[in-house]
Each structure stands twice: as structure tokens, then as C-alpha cells.
Amino acid sequence: MKQQRAVAEAITINPDEKLNKITTVVLVILHIGAIAALFCFSWVNLAVAVFLYWLTVDLGISLGYHRLHTHRSYKIPRWLEYFFAVCGASTLEGGPIFWVATHRLHHQLSDKEGDPHSPRDGAWWAHVGWILTGESKHNNTRLMAKYAPDLAKYPFYVWLNNWHWVPVVVLAAVLLAIGGLPMMLWGVCLRVVVGLHATWLVNSATHMWGRRRFSTRDDSRNNWWVALMTFGEGWHNNHHAHPTSARHGLAWYEFDPSWIQIRFLQFLGIAKSVRVARHTDETLEKAA
């Protein structure tokens, strides 16, 4: 536990520190680009943005960084793991080692001292303040690897963590070549901004608003509208009660698109060793 606290102190950013200029400038530019995208609407650009949102936020973050890389809720071939990781990096939420280490730390110290993004330190802090403040740890692979040694032993994950911004740059160049500036604004700026805020809402909103089915040691809650934006990640109290479960929406009415896709991969024989919380819809109805 002392080692975990030491790593937590090194990773966690102090709310009293100054803004990180590079991170802040990048986010401001992305938000300006997102607003500009609204003035050059087309159905093609919208379709591209929606497809890329599914590819990056769903496959990359929900199925990849979160349920696969962090919690090892299921197993898939290594090449598909790598593909999900590239999709995750394309959200601009950092490389796989950084993301996994931060989220594992969140579970170890959830809503306690050392949690990187707890609303107990303020809603704004939990949502985006922790990203904007202090020294960025995105590229400090050696430090973050202490919480993600299972990923750090693979050269691909180390490379992707160090160069996590490369997939976005390549994607931007491709979209610019195919559809010009409007498609790039929709497929990168607007899509990234919406994806960032959707994921940040899991850190902030689902620790403030919603229902608590399970009595966990933190403030996690089930929030249906965050779940809709994040392909099922909003069933956060369920997740904190059963962190290794590949299924987050544990009742029939808790829509969990990521779980449906994992089941489909399991049906095809691609996903194996799928972990699921041992609860039936009937027992959950009584608990609710």
C-alpha cells in the first residue's frame, strides 16, 4: 500500500499548481475547431465523425483501454488488442500505459486522497481540471509503467504511449486529403472534443449524480445519460462494485452497447475468458 501511495503522489496533480500551457493550448485549439465545424455541416462529415466516434470512444476507450487493457475483462488476439489501443490513442486521452495506470490508481484510491480525479476536490477538477493543471505525465512511460507493468513489457505499447499523438496527426492528414478542412474539423476536432467530455463525465458526473445500487467505498453512481454517450460506461456504480466484469449494464434495462459487442466477439470465437458479474436481472430488480 505504501508503494501505491508513493506512485499516487507522483502521478496525482496538485490543484494549486499552475496550468499546463501545452495541454491548455491544445484543448483550446480543439474546442475552437469543434465550434468551426458546426459552420461547415454536411451529412458526409457527420457520418465520418459518428463512425470515428464509435471507433475511438467505443472500441478504443470502452472495449479497449478500459475493459480490456485496464481490467482484463476478456481476452482477444494480440493484433486486435493493438488495434483497440491505436483507436484509444486517437481520442487524445493519452497512450495506453498512461490511461491504464491512471484508471487503476483511480480504483485503488477512489474518492480518497490520491485519486487523480475525484469530485470531492471539485466538479471542475474531476471533469477537466486535473488534465489542465501541473506537469503532464502522458509521456512519462517509466513512471506510469509502475501501475501498468503488464503493458510496459510490450515494445508496441511503450512506443504508442510515447507517441500517442501520432495516430491523430495521421488521421487528420488523411481526412484533410479526402474531404478538406471541413471533414478534418468534424472527424478530428469536433469528434475529439465530444469524446473527451463524454469520457470526463464518467470521472465527474457518475461520481455526483445517479443511483447507487451497490454500497461501494466510493461515490460512484449509475447514470443513464452518461451511459448513452459512452457506450455503457455510465453504469459506473455497477463497475466499481464489479471492476473486472466485462458487462457494466447488469440489468436488462441498462443499455450497454460495449457488452453487446463483446458478446458478439465471443460468439465469433474471437473474445475468450469473458468475465461477468454473477448477478441476474431478477436479483438486481430487488436490490434497486
* pLDDT at 30 exceeding the cut of 60: yes
Q: Flag whether 101 is in a domain.
A: yes
Range of the domain at 71: 2-213
Q: Flag whether 192 is in a domain.
A: yes
Tell me if residue 148 falls in helix, strand or coil.
coil
Name the residue with higher pLDDT: 13 or 209: 209
Q: Flag whether 255 is in a domain.
A: no
Q: Flag whether 62 is in a domain.
A: yes
Tell me if residue 285 falls in helix, strand or coil.
helix
Question: And the C-alpha cell for 20?
Answer: 499546463
Q: What's the predicted TM-score (pTM) here?
A: 0.91
Contacts of residue 236, defined as CB under 8 A and 6 or more positions apart, other chains included, come to 202, 206, 207, 210, 220, 221, 222, 223, 226, 248
pLDDT digits (tens, 9 = 90+) for 96-139: 999 999 999 999 999 999 999 999 999 999 999 999 986 666 66
Q: Flag whether 264 is in a domain.
A: no
pLDDT for the residue numbered 288: 47
Into how many domains does the chain fold? 1
Q: Flag whether 218 is in a domain.
A: no
pLDDT digits (tens, 9 = 90+) for 149-163: 999 999 999 999 999
Question: And the C-alpha cell for 141?
Answer: 512511460
Q: Flag whether 235 is in a domain.
A: no
Q: Flag whether 102 is in a domain.
A: yes
β-partners of residue 121 are: none
- Cα–chain-centroid distance for residue 242? 17
